[in-house]
Amino acid sequence: MHGRAPLQTQWQPFAGIDSGMNAHIHDGNLLHPPAAEDIIELDRTFGTRFLLFVDTEEEFDWGAPFSRTAHSVTALKGLEQGQAYFAAAGIKPVYVTDYPMLENEDVVAMMAQWVADGSADVGAHLHPWVNPPFVEEVTRANSYAGFLPEEVERAKLQALRDRIHIAFGQAPIAYRAGRYGAGPNTARLLEEMGFRLDTSVRSRFDYSADHGPDFYGMPLDPFWAGPQRSLIELPLSTAFTGLLRGSGQSLYWAAQAMGPMRAALARARLLSRVPLTPEGVPARDAVDAIDALLDTGSRVINLSFHSPTLEPGHTPYVRDAAELSEFYHWWEIVLEHLDRRGVRPATLARFLAAVPPRMQVGEQAACQAA
């Protein structure tokens, strides 16, 4: 259990001031729950909407050790078909794209056309083991970019940002760390490089046993991050569903510690943790998760999947043509349900426009002192 104390059913905000004379200032670190004042209240005209982020990456064996060379970029037809499907559904995906994809001229040409015709946006996605500079040992621990030495994470982010700028004529403003691997320096580095949005935080998941981040107590709502609070964090959407969902995180973690108990609760439809992705999540469960999020007041839903899933044989989720058909059927069910609940698609630009300006950290401190 890594020594974690029981969690409350709701995230607990960072306490800004201690009981003594010293102020504890939140540094905007993505590994700590945000302060209450950093939670973002979207403009009311935004309504309730969803965004789609696609982790656009090379194909590799997910069960094998990480390798700098054991990968390919071949699933272009699937990517093209997927984009056509989402465009026809009125969805403008954000393709957070990693370095090997940018080295493929056909991928760049295809995605550049989508950007030019306004049917997609391109962001950044960092797989450190295939992203220069290659200065670190290739290990599971080092597959989480945010836990690399700060200067290495910075250099890899800069190389990726510059490559995207060259490929598409504009610098990326959205980022997701590969393997959700944000670390203690990530938000500050993204701020320094001009990113406006990060979507690496996978609320209600803990990767610390694999040397990664622990997002278990993080909120689902968007919040300001980074030392200057100029970076917007949009967590991936995950809901607790079932009759006991009100007990949420604390009960789920207790059940997880008991091994078979978690599976038994899920089978009985008493308590399940459901991330909003077509990868490994039945459509019925996704519908329940959407309802749970809406019932608790969520106004933005963050959907995601990995681009190699768009062709059979590259991920565990789509192994053949029949499973690819099931993948698209999942979207039909989920999109129909979102529409029925009045949840419309949002572009990245529309979401950013719905975020009101935030008072700068220094200005806020001065106001509090006054």
Residues 112-132: pLDDT tens digits? 999 999 999 999 999 999 999
Phi, psi of 233 (to 5 degrees): -100, 125
Q: What is the DSSP string of 21-86?
A: S-B------TTSPPBGGGB----GGG-SEEEEEEEE--B--TTSPP-SSS-B--THHHHHHHHHHH
Q: Is residue 258 part of a domain?
A: no
Q: Is residue 4 part of a domain?
A: no
Q: Is residue 268 part of a domain?
A: no
The CA angle 128-238-65, to the nearest 5 degrees, is 30
Residue pair 123/97 in contact (Cβ under 8 Å)? The answer is yes
Residues 337-355: pLDDT tens digits? 999 999 999 999 999 999 9
Sign of CA dihedral 281, 283, 288, 289: positive
Distances (CA, A) of 40 to 34, 52, 245: 10, 19, 24
Cβ atoms within 10 Å, residue 111: 24
Residue pair 200/182 in contact (Cβ under 8 Å)? The answer is yes
CA distance 214 to 202: 9
Residues 287-321: pLDDT tens digits? 999 999 999 999 999 999 999 999 999 999 999 99
Domain span including residue 154? 36-237+299-369
Q: Is residue 182 part of a domain?
A: yes
Q: Is residue 324 part of a domain?
A: yes
Q: Is residue 244 part of a domain?
A: no
Residue pair 236/176 in contact (Cβ under 8 Å)? The answer is no
* CATH code for the domain of 119: 3.20.110.20
Residues 56-109: pLDDT tens digits? 999 999 999 999 999 999 999 999 999 999 999 999 999 999 999 999 999 999
Higher per-residue pLDDT: 324 or 370: 324
Instruction: Answer yes or no: pTM beyond 0.85.
Output: yes
Q: Which of 88-102, 213-227, 243-257, 270-284 has the lowest mean pLDDT?
A: 243-257
Q: Which of 56, 58, 55, 52 shows the shortest CA–CA distance to 314?
A: 58
Domain count, the chain: 1
Q: Is residue 259 part of a domain?
A: no
Q: Is residue 275 part of a domain?
A: no
